[in-house]
Amino acid sequence: MTSRRDVLAAMATIASVSALSGGRPAQSAETGTWDVIVVGAGVFGAWAAWKLHEAGKKVLLVDAWGPAHSRASSGGESRLIRTEYGGDELYTRMAWESLPQWQALSERAGLPIFHPVGALYLYQHTSEEVDRSLALHTRLGIPAVKLGRTEVASRYPQIGLDRVEFGILQPTMGALMARRAVQTLVAQFVAGGGTYRQIAVAPPGPGASLKVIASVSGETLRADQFVFACGPWLPKMFPDVVGTRILPTRQDVFFFAPEAGDVRFEAGHLPAWVDRDDAELHYGFPVLEARGFKVALDAHGPKFDPDTGERRIPEPALAAVREYLSRRFPAIAHRPLAESRVCQYENSASGDFLIDRHPVWPNAWLVGGGSGHGFKHGPAVGRYVAEAVAGRLRSPELRFGLSRHVTQDKAS
Residue 357 has a pLDDT of 97
Residue 278 has a pLDDT of 75
- According to DSSP, the residues that pair with 364 across neighbouring strands are 226
* Contacts (Cβ under 8 Å, ≥6 apart) of 144: 83, 84, 133, 134, 137, 138, 168, 169, 170
Is 169:145 a contact under the CB 8 Å cutoff?
Answer: yes
Distances (CA, A) of 7 to 78, 127, 268, 370: 21, 47, 29, 27
Instruction: Give the DSSP per-residue string, 147-203.
Output: EEHHHHHHH-TTS--TT--EEEEETT-EEEEHHHHHHHHHHHHHHTT-EEEE--BPP
Residue 394 has a pLDDT of 87
Q: Return the amino acid letter for 11.
A: M
Residue 16 has a pLDDT of 52
Q: Does domain 115-174+247-345 have CATH number 3.30.9.10?
A: yes
Tens of pLDDT along 240-296? 999 999 999 999 999 999 999 999 999 999 999 999 987 789 999 999 999 999 999
Residue 354 has a pLDDT of 98
**Per residue in 48-64, is it b (16+ CB within 10 Å) or e — as a string?**
bbbbbbebebbbbbbbb
**Per residue in 367-401, is it b (16+ CB within 10 Å) or e — as a string?**
bbbbbbbbbbbbbbbbbbbbbbbbeeeeeebebbe
How many residues appear in the chain? 412
SS3 243: helix
CA–CA separation, 77 vs 70, rounded Å?
A: 10
Interhelix angle for 378-389 vs 89-108, to 10°?
Answer: 100
Distances (CA, A) of 159 to 120, 162, 167, 335: 11, 9, 12, 15
Residue 251 has a pLDDT of 94
- The ranges of the chain annotated as CATH 3.50.50.60 are 4-73+179-245+350-404
Residue 29 has a pLDDT of 40
Residue 24 has a pLDDT of 39
SS3 403: helix
Helix (H) or strand (E) holding 283: strand 281-285
Q: Model's pTM, two decimal places?
A: 0.93
* Contacts (Cβ under 8 Å, ≥6 apart) of 230: 39, 40, 45, 236, 237, 368
CATH superfamily, region 4-73+179-245+350-404: FAD/NAD(P)-binding domain (3.50.50.60)
- The ranges of the chain annotated as CATH 3.30.9.10 are 115-174+247-345
- pLDDT tens per residue across all 412 residues of the chain: 565 566 555 565 566 544 333 333 333 344 568 999 999 999 999 999 999 999 999 999 999 999 999 999 999 999 999 999 999 999 999 999 999 999 999 999 999 999 999 999 999 999 999 999 999 999 999 999 999 999 999 999 999 999 999 999 999 999 999 999 999 999 999 999 999 999 999 999 988 889 999 999 999 999 999 999 999 999 999 999 999 999 999 999 999 999 999 999 999 999 999 999 877 899 999 999 999 999 999 988 999 999 999 999 999 999 999 999 999 999 999 999 999 999 999 989 999 999 999 999 999 999 999 988 999 999 999 999 999 999 999 889 999 999 999 999 754 4
